[in-house]
Amino acid sequence: MSIKKRLSALLIAVVLISSITILPVSAVSDDEIDVRECENYAQHIINDLMSTGCKRPYAGNYYNKSGDLADELLDVAYKYEKGEVTAVELQNKYDETKEFYENPWISPCYAEQTCYVAVHEQNYNNWYTDEQWNTFIEKRDNLLQALRVIDSDLEPAKWGSVYDYDYTVKQQKYISKCFYELLYIYNEMTCKDIIQGDVNRDGVVSVSDATLIQKYIVGEVNFTGAQELRAKVNVDSYSVSVKDATLIQKYIVDPSIYFYSRGIVKNESEFATSLDNWEICSQW
């Protein structure tokens, strides 16, 4: 074949290829979108949230965001039927709602609260095993670095140092992954084989425990988070107090005395996720 013929054939091929309109793979047509399915899914979420108890870490945020997305989906479906939005916009809102409701991630501002508690944890008197403590440090640092992606000097605070909009969705999902890994080891450290009132870990509740709590109150000794959790046996113990030591003394005389399980989930079958220690991470 001559060079001229080859060039002509090549030119024809280029023209044919350039004339072809390539449609995006993700394009959604009116025939493909089911507006009733979108509306029914949104209503399913709303009904489920009304009948389901709090069963996730920082559940208030999860239920609020899921409810907001469901309301937004209903609104977009209504606008779609009126011709005010496209099928693609409706599909995107449906996908966004479904993704979060079925595979939620922790809000960075809430993950920061748990990180703040973790940063201040100390292994006083080698309460935790070396394996537990080393794993905890690793997972705590992973969460801290995930939060610091927006500011390398960020120091976690109890409230309001970071906001969800500071992070991309991809970053939020990674923060959530680090959070759950930290929560797992933290719960194991503080709640495994727990005996409330036993702050010296000898397996029994005795005068020695009441005495140790009194020393902690006046600053003679330090407690780990696990010890604080075991010490809070009084119903209004937001912090370890003389009331806890007094209740333990009463318990020694009368074992029928009730210890209030502040922050400890006794029956995990009632909960959708492992959340033993509410003081590490609120369930509400």
Domain boundaries, the chain: 32-104, 108-192, 194-265+275-284
Contacting residues for 31 by C-beta, under 8 A, at least 6 apart: none
Q: For 4-48, what is each residue's pLDDT tens digit?
A: 444 344 444 433 334 333 333 345 555 678 999 999 999 999 998
The residue with greater pLDDT, 195 or 199, is 199
> Please, what sign has the CA dihedral across residues 223, 227, 231, 236?
positive
Q: How many residues does the chain have?
A: 284
Residues 155 and 98 sit within 8 Å (Cβ to Cβ): no
Q: What is the pLDDT of residues 213-240, one digit of tens each?
A: 999 999 999 999 999 989 988 877 678 9
CA distances from 232 to 20, 184, 204, 208, 272 (A): 72, 22, 16, 16, 25
Q: How many CA atoms lie within 13 A of 182 on its CB side?
A: 30
pLDDT of residue 67: 94
CATH fold for domain 194-265+275-284: Type 1 dockerin domain (1.10.1330)
Mean pLDDT (the chain, rounded):
83
Region 61-74: mean pLDDT is 93
Burial 149-181 (b: 16+ CB within 10 A, else e): eeeeebebeeeebbeeebbeeeebebbbebbbb
Q: Are 232 and 217 contacting, i.e. CB atoms less than 8 angstroms apart?
A: no
User: Can you state the angle between helices 35-51 and 59-81, rounded to 10 degrees?
Assistant: 150
Question: What span, in angstroms and rounded, lies between the C-alpha atoms of 16 and 7?
Answer: 14
277 bridge partner residues: 264
Query: Which helix (H) or strand (E) element contains residue 180?
Result: helix 169-191
Rounded to two decimals, the pTM is 0.77
